[in-house]
Amino acid sequence: MIYADNAATTQLDKDAFDAMIPFMTKEYGNASQPYSFASIEKKALRDARKIIAECINASPEEIFFTSGGTESDNWAIKKGSQIYGGDVVTSQIEHHAILNACKSVSGDGVTVKYLPVDVTGVVKTIEAERMIDENTGLVSVMMANNEIGSIQPIKELAIIAHNNNALFHTDAVQAVGHIPIDVKEMNIDLLSASAHKFNGPKGIGFMYVKRGISIQPYMDGGSQESGLRAGTENVAAIVGMAIALKNNIADMQTTKDHLRRLEKIVVEKLSDRKIDYLLNGNKEKIPGNISLSFRDCEGEVILHRMDLMGICISTGSACDSVNTQVSHVIKAIGLPMDYAEGTIRVSFGRYNDENDAKTLVKALISIVG
Ligand code: PLP
Protein backbone atom coordinates (compact mmCIF):
# COMPACT_ATOMS: atom_id res chain seq x y z
CA MET A 1 0.00 0.00 0.00
CA ILE A 2 1.24 3.49 -0.82
CA TYR A 3 -0.31 6.18 1.32
CA ALA A 4 -0.24 9.53 -0.50
CA ASP A 5 -3.11 11.36 1.22
CA ASN A 6 -1.21 13.12 4.00
CA ALA A 7 -3.30 16.28 3.64
CA ALA A 8 -6.26 14.17 4.88
CA THR A 9 -4.37 12.70 7.81
CA THR A 10 -0.89 11.44 8.69
CA GLN A 11 0.75 8.43 10.28
CA LEU A 12 1.38 8.84 14.01
CA ASP A 13 4.96 9.76 14.95
CA LYS A 14 6.63 6.88 16.83
CA ASP A 15 8.05 9.10 19.62
CA ALA A 16 4.61 10.68 20.05
CA PHE A 17 3.02 7.25 20.39
CA ASP A 18 5.62 6.15 22.98
CA ALA A 19 5.09 9.36 24.98
CA MET A 20 1.31 8.79 25.00
CA ILE A 21 1.33 5.23 26.33
CA PRO A 22 1.88 6.00 30.07
CA PHE A 23 -1.12 8.38 30.00
CA MET A 24 -3.35 5.67 28.55
CA THR A 25 -2.24 3.10 31.11
CA LYS A 26 -0.90 3.93 34.55
CA GLU A 27 -1.00 7.75 34.57
CA TYR A 28 -4.76 8.11 34.20
CA GLY A 29 -5.37 10.82 36.82
CA ASN A 30 -7.63 13.78 36.06
CA ALA A 31 -5.32 16.77 35.58
CA SER A 32 -7.78 19.06 37.38
CA GLN A 33 -7.59 17.17 40.68
CA PRO A 34 -5.45 18.61 43.52
CA TYR A 35 -3.93 15.34 44.84
CA SER A 36 -0.39 14.27 44.02
CA PHE A 37 -1.53 11.37 41.75
CA ALA A 38 -2.64 14.06 39.25
CA SER A 39 0.60 16.03 39.43
CA ILE A 40 2.21 14.05 36.59
CA GLU A 41 -0.72 14.88 34.30
CA LYS A 42 -0.57 18.55 35.35
CA LYS A 43 3.15 18.68 34.54
CA ALA A 44 2.56 16.89 31.21
CA LEU A 45 0.02 19.55 30.19
CA ARG A 46 2.38 22.34 31.26
CA ASP A 47 5.27 20.85 29.30
CA ALA A 48 3.14 20.21 26.19
CA ARG A 49 1.79 23.77 26.24
CA LYS A 50 5.33 25.14 26.49
CA ILE A 51 6.61 22.97 23.61
CA ILE A 52 3.70 23.95 21.35
CA ALA A 53 4.04 27.65 22.21
CA GLU A 54 7.75 27.59 21.33
CA CYS A 55 6.98 25.98 17.96
CA ILE A 56 4.98 29.05 16.82
CA ASN A 57 6.74 31.74 18.92
CA ALA A 58 3.82 32.15 21.32
CA SER A 59 3.66 32.10 25.13
CA PRO A 60 2.27 29.00 26.89
CA GLU A 61 -0.69 31.03 28.28
CA GLU A 62 -1.74 31.76 24.67
CA ILE A 63 -2.25 28.05 23.78
CA PHE A 64 -5.68 26.44 24.38
CA PHE A 65 -6.21 22.74 23.72
CA THR A 66 -9.28 21.82 21.63
CA SER A 67 -10.58 18.68 19.93
CA GLY A 68 -9.01 19.69 16.59
CA GLY A 69 -9.22 22.00 13.62
CA THR A 70 -13.00 21.99 13.29
CA GLU A 71 -13.57 23.04 16.90
CA SER A 72 -10.86 25.72 16.79
CA ASP A 73 -12.32 27.13 13.56
CA ASN A 74 -15.86 27.18 15.00
CA TRP A 75 -14.57 28.90 18.14
CA ALA A 76 -12.68 31.51 16.13
CA ILE A 77 -15.60 32.35 13.81
CA LYS A 78 -18.53 32.09 16.23
CA LYS A 79 -16.91 33.75 19.24
CA GLY A 80 -14.16 35.74 17.48
CA SER A 81 -16.78 37.54 15.41
CA GLN A 82 -18.48 38.72 18.61
CA ILE A 83 -15.41 40.44 20.08
CA TYR A 84 -15.62 43.61 18.00
CA GLY A 85 -18.94 42.82 16.30
CA GLY A 86 -19.33 43.84 12.66
CA ASP A 87 -18.89 41.87 9.46
CA VAL A 88 -16.73 38.83 8.74
CA VAL A 89 -14.37 38.65 5.78
CA THR A 90 -13.06 35.25 4.74
CA SER A 91 -11.93 33.64 1.47
CA GLN A 92 -13.70 31.58 -1.18
CA ILE A 93 -11.31 28.65 -0.68
CA GLU A 94 -11.64 28.01 3.06
CA HIS A 95 -12.26 24.56 4.54
CA HIS A 96 -15.92 23.80 5.32
CA ALA A 97 -15.19 24.17 9.04
CA ILE A 98 -14.81 27.89 8.31
CA LEU A 99 -17.36 28.20 5.50
CA ASN A 100 -20.15 26.51 7.46
CA ALA A 101 -19.30 28.37 10.70
CA CYS A 102 -19.50 31.60 8.66
CA LYS A 103 -22.88 30.53 7.29
CA SER A 104 -24.06 30.01 10.83
CA VAL A 105 -23.05 33.54 11.99
CA SER A 106 -24.32 35.31 8.88
CA GLY A 107 -27.63 37.12 9.20
CA ASP A 108 -28.68 38.85 12.44
CA GLY A 109 -26.81 41.94 11.30
CA VAL A 110 -23.58 40.10 10.36
CA THR A 111 -22.61 40.04 6.69
CA VAL A 112 -19.98 37.56 5.51
CA LYS A 113 -17.86 38.54 2.51
CA TYR A 114 -15.73 36.12 0.51
CA LEU A 115 -12.36 37.15 -0.89
CA PRO A 116 -11.62 35.85 -4.38
CA VAL A 117 -8.34 34.13 -5.31
CA ASP A 118 -6.15 34.21 -8.41
CA VAL A 119 -5.53 31.21 -10.70
CA THR A 120 -2.85 29.90 -8.34
CA GLY A 121 -5.29 29.94 -5.40
CA VAL A 122 -3.82 32.95 -3.62
CA VAL A 123 -6.08 35.61 -2.08
CA LYS A 124 -5.85 38.90 -3.94
CA THR A 125 -4.62 41.47 -1.38
CA ILE A 126 -5.96 44.27 -3.57
CA GLU A 127 -9.46 42.80 -3.10
CA ALA A 128 -8.78 42.51 0.63
CA GLU A 129 -7.95 46.25 0.72
CA ARG A 130 -11.31 46.89 -0.94
CA MET A 131 -13.47 44.46 1.08
CA ILE A 132 -12.05 44.95 4.58
CA ASP A 133 -13.27 48.24 6.00
CA GLU A 134 -14.42 49.94 9.21
CA ASN A 135 -17.48 47.63 9.32
CA THR A 136 -15.29 44.51 9.48
CA GLY A 137 -14.92 42.87 12.89
CA LEU A 138 -13.11 39.64 11.94
CA VAL A 139 -10.96 38.53 9.03
CA SER A 140 -10.30 34.80 8.66
CA VAL A 141 -8.04 33.49 5.90
CA MET A 142 -6.41 30.06 5.89
CA MET A 143 -2.62 29.83 5.95
CA ALA A 144 -2.43 27.04 3.37
CA ASN A 145 -5.17 25.49 1.28
CA ASN A 146 -6.01 21.84 1.93
CA GLU A 147 -6.77 20.97 -1.70
CA ILE A 148 -4.11 22.74 -3.74
CA GLY A 149 -1.58 23.68 -1.04
CA SER A 150 -1.34 27.41 -1.90
CA ILE A 151 0.20 29.47 0.88
CA GLN A 152 -1.58 32.75 1.59
CA PRO A 153 -0.08 36.23 2.25
CA ILE A 154 -1.00 36.05 5.96
CA LYS A 155 1.24 38.86 7.18
CA GLU A 156 -0.14 41.34 4.62
CA LEU A 157 -3.75 40.30 5.28
CA ALA A 158 -3.27 40.68 9.05
CA ILE A 159 -1.94 44.21 8.53
CA ILE A 160 -4.98 45.11 6.39
CA ALA A 161 -7.30 43.69 9.09
CA HIS A 162 -5.54 45.60 11.87
CA ASN A 163 -5.49 48.86 9.87
CA ASN A 164 -9.30 48.56 9.96
CA ASN A 165 -9.42 47.64 13.67
CA ALA A 166 -10.51 44.08 12.88
CA LEU A 167 -9.23 40.81 14.40
CA PHE A 168 -7.22 38.43 12.26
CA HIS A 169 -7.70 34.64 12.46
CA THR A 170 -5.96 32.01 10.35
CA ASP A 171 -6.92 28.37 9.89
CA ALA A 172 -3.36 27.00 9.90
CA VAL A 173 -4.40 23.32 10.01
CA GLN A 174 -2.46 22.45 6.83
CA ALA A 175 0.48 24.68 7.71
CA VAL A 176 1.45 23.98 11.33
CA GLY A 177 4.39 21.56 11.41
CA HIS A 178 4.96 21.99 7.66
CA ILE A 179 6.09 25.59 7.17
CA PRO A 180 7.70 28.04 9.63
CA ILE A 181 5.15 30.02 11.66
CA ASP A 182 5.85 32.97 13.92
CA VAL A 183 2.55 34.32 15.24
CA LYS A 184 4.16 37.54 16.47
CA GLU A 185 6.02 38.33 13.28
CA MET A 186 2.92 37.44 11.22
CA ASN A 187 0.63 39.60 13.40
CA ILE A 188 -1.86 36.79 14.04
CA ASP A 189 -4.58 37.18 16.71
CA LEU A 190 -6.16 33.70 16.52
CA LEU A 191 -4.76 30.53 14.92
CA SER A 192 -6.30 27.05 14.54
CA ALA A 193 -4.26 23.83 14.42
CA SER A 194 -4.92 20.10 14.34
CA ALA A 195 -2.48 17.39 15.50
CA HIS A 196 -3.38 14.65 13.02
CA LYS A 197 -2.14 16.78 10.13
CA PHE A 198 1.40 16.83 11.58
CA ASN A 199 1.83 13.18 12.63
CA GLY A 200 0.05 13.65 15.94
CA PRO A 201 -3.05 11.79 17.16
CA LYS A 202 -6.57 12.47 15.89
CA GLY A 203 -9.21 14.39 17.86
CA ILE A 204 -6.82 16.92 19.37
CA GLY A 205 -5.70 20.38 18.32
CA PHE A 206 -5.19 23.83 19.70
CA MET A 207 -6.06 27.45 19.27
CA TYR A 208 -3.58 30.26 19.73
CA VAL A 209 -5.27 33.29 21.27
CA LYS A 210 -3.03 36.36 21.43
CA ARG A 211 -2.66 37.74 24.93
CA GLY A 212 -5.19 40.53 25.61
CA ILE A 213 -7.86 39.22 23.24
CA SER A 214 -10.95 38.57 25.30
CA ILE A 215 -12.67 35.76 23.43
CA GLN A 216 -15.61 33.96 25.04
CA PRO A 217 -15.52 30.16 25.46
CA TYR A 218 -17.15 28.05 22.76
CA MET A 219 -17.84 25.16 25.16
CA ASP A 220 -19.53 25.86 28.47
CA GLY A 221 -18.65 23.67 31.44
CA GLY A 222 -15.75 23.34 33.87
CA SER A 223 -12.85 25.72 34.33
CA GLN A 224 -10.22 23.83 32.33
CA GLU A 225 -7.96 25.81 29.98
CA SER A 226 -8.22 28.95 32.14
CA GLY A 227 -12.01 28.80 31.81
CA LEU A 228 -11.89 29.12 28.02
CA ARG A 229 -12.32 25.47 26.97
CA ALA A 230 -14.29 23.23 29.29
CA GLY A 231 -13.88 19.45 29.37
CA THR A 232 -11.46 16.99 30.97
CA GLU A 233 -8.16 17.24 29.11
CA ASN A 234 -7.09 14.35 26.88
CA VAL A 235 -3.60 14.29 28.38
CA ALA A 236 -2.28 11.41 26.23
CA ALA A 237 -3.35 13.11 22.99
CA ILE A 238 -2.01 16.50 24.11
CA VAL A 239 1.38 14.96 24.97
CA GLY A 240 1.44 13.15 21.60
CA MET A 241 0.56 16.36 19.77
CA ALA A 242 3.43 18.28 21.39
CA ILE A 243 6.04 15.60 20.62
CA ALA A 244 4.83 15.19 17.02
CA LEU A 245 4.98 18.94 16.43
CA LYS A 246 8.42 19.26 17.99
CA ASN A 247 9.77 16.43 15.81
CA ASN A 248 8.20 17.79 12.62
CA ILE A 249 9.65 21.22 13.27
CA ALA A 250 13.11 19.83 14.06
CA ASP A 251 13.13 18.05 10.65
CA MET A 252 11.22 20.71 8.70
CA GLN A 253 13.88 21.70 6.17
CA THR A 254 15.04 18.11 5.52
CA THR A 255 11.43 16.99 5.08
CA LYS A 256 10.72 19.90 2.74
CA ASP A 257 13.74 19.08 0.52
CA HIS A 258 12.74 15.39 0.50
CA LEU A 259 9.11 16.15 -0.41
CA ARG A 260 10.11 18.61 -3.17
CA ARG A 261 12.19 15.74 -4.68
CA LEU A 262 9.16 13.44 -4.62
CA GLU A 263 6.99 16.15 -6.24
CA LYS A 264 9.62 16.57 -8.97
CA ILE A 265 9.63 12.83 -9.73
CA VAL A 266 5.88 12.90 -10.32
CA VAL A 267 5.55 16.06 -12.40
CA GLU A 268 8.67 15.43 -14.49
CA LYS A 269 7.53 11.92 -15.39
CA LEU A 270 4.07 13.20 -16.39
CA SER A 271 5.67 15.87 -18.59
CA ASP A 272 8.19 13.38 -20.10
CA ARG A 273 5.26 11.20 -21.12
CA LYS A 274 3.49 14.25 -22.62
CA ILE A 275 0.42 13.81 -20.43
CA ASP A 276 -2.05 16.72 -20.80
CA TYR A 277 -2.30 18.04 -17.23
CA LEU A 278 -2.28 21.21 -15.16
CA LEU A 279 -0.39 21.58 -11.88
CA ASN A 280 -2.50 23.64 -9.46
CA GLY A 281 -1.43 25.91 -6.61
CA ASN A 282 1.31 28.50 -6.25
CA LYS A 283 5.05 27.87 -6.44
CA GLU A 284 5.68 28.08 -2.71
CA LYS A 285 2.98 25.62 -1.74
CA ILE A 286 2.85 23.17 1.15
CA PRO A 287 5.64 20.58 0.63
CA GLY A 288 4.36 17.28 -0.74
CA ASN A 289 1.03 18.62 -2.04
CA ILE A 290 0.50 17.97 -5.76
CA SER A 291 -2.90 18.95 -7.14
CA LEU A 292 -3.16 17.74 -10.72
CA SER A 293 -5.94 18.26 -13.25
CA PHE A 294 -6.02 15.87 -16.22
CA ARG A 295 -7.84 16.87 -19.37
CA ASP A 296 -11.02 14.93 -20.20
CA CYS A 297 -10.64 12.59 -17.19
CA GLU A 298 -12.69 12.05 -14.06
CA GLY A 299 -10.92 12.49 -10.73
CA GLU A 300 -13.26 10.01 -9.10
CA VAL A 301 -12.39 7.27 -11.62
CA ILE A 302 -8.65 7.93 -11.20
CA LEU A 303 -9.00 7.69 -7.40
CA HIS A 304 -10.81 4.32 -7.55
CA ARG A 305 -8.43 2.83 -10.11
CA MET A 306 -5.46 3.94 -8.00
CA ASP A 307 -7.16 2.39 -4.97
CA LEU A 308 -7.42 -0.93 -6.83
CA MET A 309 -3.63 -0.71 -7.30
CA GLY A 310 -3.17 -0.13 -3.56
CA ILE A 311 -2.49 3.61 -3.76
CA CYS A 312 -4.36 6.16 -1.61
CA ILE A 313 -4.85 9.60 -3.14
CA SER A 314 -7.77 12.04 -3.02
CA THR A 315 -9.97 13.99 -5.40
CA GLY A 316 -10.05 17.05 -3.13
CA SER A 317 -10.28 17.44 0.61
CA ALA A 318 -11.09 14.35 2.70
CA CYS A 319 -14.27 15.98 3.91
CA ASP A 320 -15.45 16.38 0.33
CA SER A 321 -14.79 12.83 -0.82
CA VAL A 322 -18.50 11.94 -0.80
CA ASN A 323 -19.31 14.97 -2.87
CA THR A 324 -18.24 14.12 -6.39
CA GLN A 325 -18.84 17.58 -7.83
CA VAL A 326 -16.02 19.94 -8.74
CA SER A 327 -14.89 21.45 -5.44
CA HIS A 328 -15.38 25.09 -4.45
CA VAL A 329 -11.60 25.54 -4.51
CA ILE A 330 -11.21 24.30 -8.09
CA LYS A 331 -14.16 26.51 -9.09
CA ALA A 332 -12.59 29.52 -7.34
CA ILE A 333 -9.30 29.22 -9.27
CA GLY A 334 -11.34 29.15 -12.49
CA LEU A 335 -10.00 25.92 -14.01
CA PRO A 336 -11.56 25.12 -17.41
CA MET A 337 -14.23 22.40 -17.02
CA ASP A 338 -12.37 19.90 -19.25
CA TYR A 339 -9.56 19.90 -16.67
CA ALA A 340 -11.57 20.65 -13.50
CA GLU A 341 -13.38 17.30 -13.44
CA GLY A 342 -10.10 15.41 -13.75
CA THR A 343 -8.58 16.85 -10.56
CA ILE A 344 -6.79 14.70 -8.01
CA ARG A 345 -4.67 15.51 -4.95
CA VAL A 346 -1.50 13.56 -4.18
CA SER A 347 -0.08 14.54 -0.80
CA PHE A 348 3.21 12.97 0.19
CA GLY A 349 4.37 12.98 3.79
CA ARG A 350 7.62 12.39 5.58
CA TYR A 351 7.20 8.58 5.57
CA ASN A 352 6.99 8.38 1.74
CA ASP A 353 10.12 7.57 -0.27
CA GLU A 354 11.27 7.92 -3.89
CA ASN A 355 9.99 4.44 -4.74
CA ASP A 356 6.51 5.52 -3.65
CA ALA A 357 6.68 8.51 -6.00
CA LYS A 358 7.95 6.37 -8.92
CA THR A 359 5.32 3.65 -8.40
CA LEU A 360 2.57 6.22 -7.97
CA VAL A 361 3.36 8.13 -11.17
CA LYS A 362 3.68 4.88 -13.14
CA ALA A 363 0.23 3.83 -11.95
CA LEU A 364 -1.16 7.28 -12.74
CA ILE A 365 0.22 7.21 -16.28
CA SER A 366 -1.32 3.77 -16.83
CA ILE A 367 -4.71 5.40 -16.13
CA VAL A 368 -4.47 8.84 -17.74
CA GLY A 369 -1.85 8.13 -20.45
N1 PLP B 1 -9.13 23.22 8.27
C2 PLP B 1 -8.41 22.69 7.26
C3 PLP B 1 -7.68 23.59 6.33
C4 PLP B 1 -8.34 21.30 7.12
O5 PLP B 1 -7.63 20.77 6.13
C6 PLP B 1 -9.06 20.47 8.03
C7 PLP B 1 -9.08 19.00 7.86
O8 PLP B 1 -9.09 18.49 6.76
C9 PLP B 1 -9.78 21.08 9.06
C10 PLP B 1 -9.80 22.46 9.15
C11 PLP B 1 -10.53 20.27 10.09
O12 PLP B 1 -9.60 19.74 11.01
P13 PLP B 1 -9.98 18.50 11.95
O14 PLP B 1 -9.93 17.30 11.07
O15 PLP B 1 -8.91 18.47 12.99
O16 PLP B 1 -11.32 18.77 12.52
pLDDT per position as a tens digit, 41-84: 999 999 999 999 999 999 999 999 999 999 999 999 999 999 99
312 is catalytic: no
Minimal-distance CA residue to ligand 1 atom 10: 69
Helices (H), 273-312: 299-308
Which residue's alpha carbon is nearest to atom 12 within ligand 1?
69
pLDDT attached to residue 210? 98
pLDDT tier at 305, thresholds 50, 70, 90: very high
What pLDDT sits at residue 201? 98
Output the pLDDT for position 325.
81
Predicted confidence at residue 259, as pLDDT, reads: 98
Q: How remote is the CA of residue 146 from the centroid of ligand 1, in Å?
A: 8
| CA of residue 69 to ligand 1 center, whole Å | 5
* Ligand 1 pocket check for 140: Cβ under 6 Å: no
What is the average per-residue pLDDT within 180-204? 98
Give the chain's domains with CATH numbers: 2-9+252-368 (3.90.1150.10), 14-250 (3.40.640.10)
Encode pLDDT of 225-238 as tens digits.
999 999 999 999 99
pTM over 0.85: yes
pLDDT for res 321: 52
Enumerate the β-bridge partners of residue 312.
3
Predicted confidence (pLDDT) at residue 318 exceeds the cutoff of 50: no
Q: In angstroms, what is the span from residue 9 Cα to ligand 1's centroid?
A: 9
- Per-residue pLDDT tens over the stretch 241-294: 999 999 999 999 999 999 999 999 999 999 999 999 999 999 889 999 999 999
| 17-23-28 Cα angle (round to 5) | 160
> Out of 99-113, 132-146, 151-165, which region has the weakest mean confidence (pLDDT)?
99-113
Probe target for ligand 1 pocket from 5, 67, 70, 321, with the most ligand atoms within 8 Å of CB: 70
Report the DSSP pairing between strands 190-194 and 167-171. Answer: parallel
What is the average pLDDT value for the chain, to the nearest integer? 96
For 33-70, b where at least 16 C-beta lie within 10 A, e where not — what string? eeeeebebbbebbeebbebbbebbebeeebbbbbbbbb
Minimum CA distance residue for ligand 1 atom 4: 173
